[in-house]
């Protein structure tokens, strides 16, 4: 759990954080969302003390981060940045093993951990271990960056616009990868982005910031249904709110038993979202879709008007 | 490529070996001169003495230059940076020969004024190369290093210095070449070096000595340049070529 | 009478070091602009005190040569450095620093005019050698100009070639860089004999003043050294315009010559001027060494002083060289700032 208590920070005369209060629950995939200058990166960097607050404090698992030396603290926290910041003079393996080396792990344990992480991020250890960062594509480099952040099995993972510099296809692939990693490891992840799509694709909780303050925090659906501030509504983009809401709803929750559905209905898996259901209807010019369970048996029908309940 | 860089070294060695045998040649070239070959000291001992001046001054110059360069690039060291800038600017305006001349009343004739000027001027290219190279280490790499939990010393030793090493070595190479030139000027204050035959020749109206001293001094500069070029690790990390434009050899030459 | 130095052993030394230390403290403790004033004031007071001390020590002796000893020089150096630091802290920029420098120079001139410093050895030496100093000054400037102007033309041409034909340019720039490796003293010395031979072979050149010993080897040597900074600056200046700006100009229908004159050169002008500045400062210093092979300039005084073991004469040769170089540097830096197309400098 991460808790900000009245955290303020100014750079010269420019305030970056203005009394931020925020709690990120354990095991959440939390996204700090806001425009540029909202203070979200500064907030993130107060957690690993790359920024020291002027006032207030930051608690990590109920312990003030200022209570231990910054290097020791940072070795327990994974950190991924947009520029990736791989050390250009070290191989992929040495980059990933950076924090374990700082912690004094034996060489064999580091080597095993490096291979494990490369495999976890779907990079062939034999092919990538000894490469230099310049020999990687942007997406591969960022996978290595994530592996490096996870190397010493940190309590939490901080990600500062990690996919901002990648092309759309690579970005989406890595977003799916992160969702999978979060589900697999159960780590608390705090990700900073200005990209609303990214926030909704990844977050279990979203915190919207502006002018160094928290505007609203909660599950994505709550922000859509009850924006606490006009700026939250603006940021979430009025035109897309309906579609986002559909994307957050399971089609199965809107289905009716269906009975004898006409065979011409389009079919989608029961795990699909309401947005997938709408897409299938529009594509087939049909007014309803048939949900199928894992065995392929009909599991209900979603009609066009059912979507209004999403 | 490495061997080609060593060619000037061989050329210098050959000249050093052949020159003592060339008295008849210089007698023919300069018929008016009574003593066609400089024999007050052997060319080898002049070379060793010249090389000694360069080596003795280069070590403290490297230590001061790199140390000051590191200090000047630490966060919050604006004052150090300003002092370093001021010193470099002032030293560029004053030619080494003036420093040697001014030092004579204070430290006397001989090697001392040359050494003083040598340390001052050899420090500058190292200092400039170090500050420039450290300033070009990408900020996201530094951010990542700190974020990974490296202490400031670990960041410096494991990340900054390895990345900045090639330009710093290039700065050392410039410093060494500059030191060869400054040491030669030291002859005007009585330092024993390859500049000595030049000064002796100019004073005594013996152009043969001038040529002998000048040829050896020039070849020695090329030899030192070639030697350090051959020793320098060349982009072993592949992508790392930071600051290469800012600190190319020769680009930060000072008047000598 | 041997030169007596006002040294740290004497009571005056404290009188010099204390204001210097106070000023250095002031430079860090006071508001920046006030600190600049404090340093400049302390410097003038220090010089005045030196002149006063010299007057008392000299008494009626005309032959005495008095100058500051180590303590005094360190104090002067410390004050100059403190002033430079304070100007940096005040973010005064090149123009502000030039104003401060002119102010200090004016104060120094006033003290000299009022005769406050007349008893300092350096000032006596300068007064006694007035005509020689003027000759050295004129000679130094002539030598610098004689090397710098042709180097500008040839260096700029080399830089343009290097920009237009990178392949040929690499060898041209490599050659110019190799020239830089040759120590100046060796180059000057090596030029003597070929030039002497040329003068013997071509009487016309000899009549025009070309001799082995004299200005020729120094001017040619300095010319050769200046080619690299000018060529490198020219190449960089031509490439300084952002690719997008050049593309846009072409797209708007600019002819190649118009792209050069209206886009590339205006945007590259500060870079070119920076090269000129480096070359000019180098020329002032390199010419000094030319006195060794018989060229004129302040180096003549310096080597004369070295031969006679006369510190004041050495300084009389060295200080104007440093002042000239620093002034050229400051003036050309100011011009560079003025030419820079960034909005900050345009304000």
Domain co-membership, C123 together with C155? no
Given C94, C128, C162, the domain boundary residue is C128
The pLDDT value recorded for residue B19 is: 84
pLDDT in tens, C283-311: 999 999 888 888 888 988 888 888 887 77
Q: How high is the ipTM of this complex?
A: 0.82
- Model pLDDT, residue C243: 79
Please tell me which residue of chain C has the smallest CA distance to B90. C326
Chain B contact probe: residue of A89, A134, A138 with most B CBs at under 10 A: A89
Q: CB B140 to CB A72 under 8 A?
A: no
Q: Which residues contact B197 (CB under 8 A, 6 or more apart)?
A: B38, B46, B209, B210, B212, B213, B216
Topology of domain B2-231, CATH: MetI-like fold (1.10.3720)
Compute how many other C-beta atoms are within 10 angstroms of the C-beta atom of residue A73: 18
Q: What is the mean pLDDT of residues A156-173?
A: 87
A110, A97 contact by CB (below 8 A): yes
Question: Which chains form contacts with chain B, at 3 or more CB pairs under 8 Å?
Answer: A, C
- State yes or no: pLDDT of C244 exceeds 60: yes
Angstrom distance (rounded) from CA C335 to CA C316:
29
Nearest to B94 by CA among C93, C148, C138, C315: C315
Half-sphere exposure of B81 (CA within 13 A, CB side): 13
Judged by 3 or more CB pairs under 8 A, whether B touches A is yes
Residues B65 and B56: beta-carbon distance below 8 Å: no
What is the full DSSP assignment across C109-134? HHHHHTTTTTTBHHHHHHHHTHHHHH
pLDDT tens-digit map of C78-108: 777 777 777 777 776 667 777 777 888 888 8
Are C276 and C286 contained in the same domain? yes
Least confident of B93-97, C4-8, C14-18: C4-8
pTM equals 0.78
Q: Which residue of C lies nearest to B89 if distances are taken between CA atoms?
A: C326
Which pLDDT score is estimated for B253?
41
Give the list of residues 6+ apart from residue B169 with CB closer than 8 angstroms, or none. Answer: B228, B232, B233
Q: What CATH number corresponds to the domain at position C235?
A: 1.10.3720.10
Q: Are residues C156 and C137 in the same domain?
A: yes
Give mean pLDDT, residues C23-35.
70
Task: Using the CB atoms, write b or e for A225-254: b if 16+ within 10 Å.
Answer: eebeeebbbebbeeeeeeebbbbbbbbbeb
Structure tokens at A32: 């700090």
State the pLDDT at residue B74: 86
C198 and C304 inside one domain: yes
CB contact under 8 A, C84 and B82: yes
**Count of structural domains, chain C:** 2
Q: Do A89 and B162 touch (CB under 8 A)?
A: yes
Which residue matches tokens 């002067």? C76
Percent of chain A with pLDDT over 90: 44
Among C189, C221, C278, C318, pick the best mutation site for testing chain B contact (most B Cβ within 10 A): C189
**Is the Cα dihedral C264, C266, C271, C275 positive or negative?**
positive
| CB nearest B143 (choices: A50, A89, A135) | A50
The predicted pLDDT at position B252 comes to 38
Which of C128, C150, C165 is where one domain is finished? C128
Q: How many Å lie between the alpha carbon of B154 and the closest alpha carbon of chain C?
A: 31
Number of neighbouring beta carbons within 10 Å of residue C270: 20
Residues C206 and C253 in one domain: yes
A92-102 per-position pLDDT tens digit: 999 999 999 99
Give Cβ neighbours of residue A224 (< 8 Å, ≥ 6 apart): A236, A241, A244, A245, A248
Chain B residue nearest residue A152, CA to CA: B148
Domains delineated in chain A: 2-245 (3.40.50.300), 250-309 (3.90.1280.20)
CB contact under 8 A, B97 and C228: no
Average pLDDT of every residue of chain A = 88
Whether residues C175 and C37 fall in one domain: no
pLDDT of residue C60: 54
Asked if B93 reaches chain C (Cβ–Cβ under 8 Å), the answer is yes
Tell me which chain A residue has its CA closest to the CA of residue B235.
A89
**Residue spans of alpha helices (H) in A121-253:** 125-128, 138-150, 168-185, 196-202, 220-225, 230-235, 241-248
* Whether residue C345 has pLDDT greater than 50: no
Residue of C nearest to B95 (CA): C285
- Kind of pairing between the strands at A55-60 and A2-11: antiparallel
Look at residues C97, C128, C159 and tell me which one is the last residue of a structural domain: C128
C221, C329: one domain: yes
Residues of chain C with pLDDT > 90: what percent? 14
Flag if C189 and B198 touch (Cβ within 8 Å): yes
Token pair recorded at residue B154: 């670990």
Nearest CA in chain B to C317: B98
- Summarised one tens digit per residue, pLDDT across range C206-233 is 777 677 788 888 999 999 999 999 999 9
How many A-B residue pairs are in contact by the CB < 8 A criterion? 79
pLDDT, residue B64, reads: 92
Q: Which range of residues forms the domain containing residue C47?
A: 4-128
Q: Cβ contact (<8 Å) for B146 and A87? A: no
Please say whether the beta carbons of B160 and B137 come within 8 A.
yes
Q: Kindly report the backbone phi and psi dihedral angles of residue C209, in degrees, each rounded to the nearest multiple of 5, phi listed first.
A: 105, 5
Task: Give residue-wise pLDDT tens across range B191-222.
Answer: 888 889 988 888 888 888 888 888 899 999 99
B256 shares contact with chain C (CB less than 8 Å): yes
pLDDT at C24: 65
Query: C19 vs C282, which has greater pLDDT?
Result: C282
Whether B187 and chain A come into contact, CB under 8 Å, resolves to no
Which residue positions in chain B have pLDDT lower than 70? 1-2, 233-256
Taking only the tens place, the pLDDT of each residue in C56-76 is 776 655 555 666 666 667 777
Hey, where are the domains in chain B? Answer: 2-231
Does the beta carbon of A101 lie under 8 angstroms from any beta carbon of chain B? no
Q: What average pLDDT does the segment A109-123 reach?
A: 91
């Amino acid at each position: 759990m991460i808790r900000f208590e009245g955290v303020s920070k100014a750079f010269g005369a420019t305030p970056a954080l203005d009394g931020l209060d925020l709690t990120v629950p354990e095991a959440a995939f939390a996204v700090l969302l806001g425009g540029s200058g909202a203070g979200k990166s500064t907030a993130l960097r107060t957690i690993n003390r790359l920024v020291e607050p002027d006032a207030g404090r930051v608690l990590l698992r109920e312990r003030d981060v200022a209570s231990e030396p910054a290097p020791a603290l940072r070795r327990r926290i994974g950190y991924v940045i947009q520029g990736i910041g791989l050390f250009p003079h070290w191989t992929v393996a040495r980059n990933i093993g950076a924090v374990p080396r700082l912690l004094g792990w034996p060489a064999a344990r580091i080597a095993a951990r490096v291979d494990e992480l490369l495999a976890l991020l779907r990079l062939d250890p034999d092919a990538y271990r000894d490469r230099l960062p310049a020999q990687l594509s942007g997406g591969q480099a960022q996978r290595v960056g994530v592996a490096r952040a996870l190397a010493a099995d940190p309590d939490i993972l901080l990600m500062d616009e990690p996919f901002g510099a990648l092309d759309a296809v690579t970005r989406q692939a890595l977003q799916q990868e992160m969702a999978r990693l979060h589900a697999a490891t159960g780590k608390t992840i705090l990700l900073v982005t200005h990209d609303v799509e990214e926030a909704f694709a990844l977050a279990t909780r979203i915190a919207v910031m502006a002018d160094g303050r928290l505007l609203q925090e909660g599950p994505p659906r709550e922000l859509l249904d009850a924006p606490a501030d006009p700026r939250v509504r603006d940021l979430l983009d009025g035109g897309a709110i309906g579609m986002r809401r559909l994307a957050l709803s399971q089609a199965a929750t809107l289905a009716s038993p269906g009975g004898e559905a006409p065979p011409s209905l389009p079919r989608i898996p029961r795990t699909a979202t309401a947005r997938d259901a709408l897409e299938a209807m529009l594509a087939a010019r049909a007014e309803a879709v048939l949900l199928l369970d894992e065995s392929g048996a009909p599991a209900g029908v979603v009609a066009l008007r059912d979507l209004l309940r999403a | 490529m490495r061997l080609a860089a060593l060619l000037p070294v061989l050329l210098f060695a050959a000249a050093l070996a052949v020159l003592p045998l060339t008295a008849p040649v210089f007698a023919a070239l300069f018929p008016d001169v009574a003593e066609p070959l400089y024999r007050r000291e052997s060319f080898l001992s002049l070379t060793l003495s010249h090389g000694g001046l360069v080596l003795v001054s280069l070590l403290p110059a490297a230590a001061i230059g790199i140390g000051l360069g590191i200090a000047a690039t630490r966060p919050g060291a604006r004052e150090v940076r300003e002092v370093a800038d001021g010193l470099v600017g002032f030293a560029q305006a004053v030619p080494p020969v003036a420093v040697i001349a001014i030092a004579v009343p204070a430290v006397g004739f001989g090697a001392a004024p040359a050494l003083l000027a040598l340390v001052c001027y050899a420090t500058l290219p190292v200092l400039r190369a170090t500050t420039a190279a450290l300033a070009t280490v990408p900020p996201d790499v530094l951010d990542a290093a700190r974020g990974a939990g490296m202490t400031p010393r670990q960041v410096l030793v494991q990340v900054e210095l390895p990345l900045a090493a090639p330009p710093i070595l290039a700065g050392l190479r410039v410093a060494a070449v500059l030191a060869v030139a400054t040491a030669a000027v030291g002859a005007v204050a009585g330092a024993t070096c390859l500049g000595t035959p030049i000064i002796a020749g100019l004073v005594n109206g013996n152009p043969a000595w001038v040529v002998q001293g000048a040829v050896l001094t020039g070849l020695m500069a090329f030899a030192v340049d070639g030697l350090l070029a051959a020793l320098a690790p060349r982009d072993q990390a592949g992508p790392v070529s930071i600051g290469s434009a800012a600190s190319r050899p020769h680009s930060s030459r000072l008047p000598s | 009478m041997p030169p007596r130095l006002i040294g740290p052993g004497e009571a005056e030394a404290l009188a010099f070091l204390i204001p210097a230390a106070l000023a250095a403290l002031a430079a860090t403790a006071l508001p920046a602009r006030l600190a600049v004033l404090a340093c400049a004031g302390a410097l003038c007071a220090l010089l005045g005190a030196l002149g006063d001390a010299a007057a008392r020590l000299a008494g009626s002796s005309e032959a005495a040569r008095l100058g500051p000893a180590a303590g005094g020089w360190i104090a002067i150096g410390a004050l100059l450095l403190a002033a430079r630091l304070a100007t940096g802290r005040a973010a005064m920029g090149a123009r502000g620093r030039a104003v401060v420098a002119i102010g200090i120079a004016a104060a120094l001139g006033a003290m000299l005019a009022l005769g406050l410093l007349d008893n300092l050895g350096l000032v006596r030496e300068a007064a006694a050698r007035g005509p020689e100093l003027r000759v050295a000054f004129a000679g130094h400037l002539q030598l610098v100009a004689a090397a710098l102007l042709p180097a500008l033309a040839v260096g700029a041409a080399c830089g343009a070639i290097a920009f237009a034909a990178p392949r040929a340019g690499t060898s041209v720039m490599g050659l110019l860089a190799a020239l830089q490796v040759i120590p100046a003293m060796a180059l000057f010395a090596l030029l003597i004999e070929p030039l002497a031979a040329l003068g013997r072979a071509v009487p016309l050149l000899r009549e025009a003043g070309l001799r082995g010993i004299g200005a020729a080897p120094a001017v040619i040597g300095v010319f050769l050294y200046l080619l690299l900074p000018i060529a490198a600056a020219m190449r960089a200046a031509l490439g300084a315009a952002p690719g997008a700006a050049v593309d846009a100009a072409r797209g708007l229908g600019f002819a190649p010559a118009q792209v050069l004159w209206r886009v590339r050169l205006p945007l590259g002008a500060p870079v070119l001027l920076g090269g000129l500045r480096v070359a000019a400062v180098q020329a002032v210093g390199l010419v000094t060494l030319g006195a060794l092979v018989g060229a004129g300039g302040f180096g003549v005084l310096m080597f004369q002083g070295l031969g006679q073991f006369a510190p004041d004469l050495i300084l009389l040769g060295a200080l104007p060289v440093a002042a000239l170089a620093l002034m050229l540097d400051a003036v050309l830096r100011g011009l560079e700032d003025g030419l820079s197309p960034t909005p900050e400098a345009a304000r």
